[in-house]
């Protein structure tokens, strides 16, 4: 199962368009992180406490991710990073690591195929590098790895459909996912 964690603020914007192009005719789940409540993360690592309850939508989201084979992070580049909603979701992983119900969190997550789609307007193929590194380090921490990424260039609505390099990479991914589903 492929799950998209969408962190864009425009559901039909350039990031969404590129991601949907990747997944055209491929079965997947689309989780728009802006539609979910994600409270500030609770850091209890130094308090010898566990986290066993959540008062937001994190549990629902993480369960979907844990049940997935492929996870695609899709975000515009905001200030050289992923969106706030994407970062808030990832920050919650710290809670999973101190929740006894997710005692195998790192092991389960390490088996996922993670991919990243980023779209930006100000030289993103250069300026998204810190974001790519951030995601690589994040995934390495849980024993995973970033299997691939696409960085698209788009300034105005619809511009992503002019980025021939990003579209070519999207076709490659689509072919791979299409073959995996058959």
The pLDDT tens digits of the residues spanning 147-163 come to: 999 999 999 999 999 99
- Helix, strand, coil in percent for the chain, rounding step 5: 45, 20, 35
Q: What angle do CA 57, 61, 67 make, to 5 degrees?
A: 150
19-38 confidence digits (pLDDT tens): 999 999 999 999 999 999 99
Residue with tokens 């990747």: 22
In terms of CATH architecture, what is 2-180? Answer: 3-Layer(aba) Sandwich (3.40)
Q: Are 149 and 143 in contact (CB under 8 A)?
A: no
pLDDT in tens, 93-132: 999 998 999 999 999 999 999 999 999 998 899 999 999 9
Per the CB < 8 A criterion, the answer to whether 66 and 16 are in contact is no
pLDDT per residue as tens digits for the range 34-93: 999 999 988 887 888 888 889 999 999 999 999 999 999 999 999 889 999 999 999 999
């Amino acid at each position: 199962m492929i799950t998209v964690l969408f962190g864009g603020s425009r559901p039909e914007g350039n990031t969404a368009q590129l991601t949907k192009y990747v997944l055209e005719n491929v079965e997947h789940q689309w989780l728009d992180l802006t539609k979910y409540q994600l409270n500030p993360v609770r850091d209890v690592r130094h308090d010898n406490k566990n986290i066993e309850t959540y008062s937001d939508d994190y549990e629902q989201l993480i369960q979907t991710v844990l049940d997935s084979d492929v996870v695609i992070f899709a975000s515009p580049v905001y200030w050289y990073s992923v969106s706030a909603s994407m970062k808030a979701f990832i920050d919650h992983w710290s809670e999973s690591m101190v929740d006894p119900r997710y005692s195998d969190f790192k092991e389960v997550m390490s088996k996922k195929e993670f991919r990243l789609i980023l779209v930006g307007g100000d030289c993103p193929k250069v300026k998204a590098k810190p974001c790519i590194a951030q995601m690589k380090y994040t995934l390495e921490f849980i024993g995973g790895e970033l299997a691939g990424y696409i960085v698209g260039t788009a300034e105005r609505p619809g511009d992503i459909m002019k980025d021939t390099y990003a579209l070519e990479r999207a076709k490659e991914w689509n072919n791979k996912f299409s073959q995996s589903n058959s």
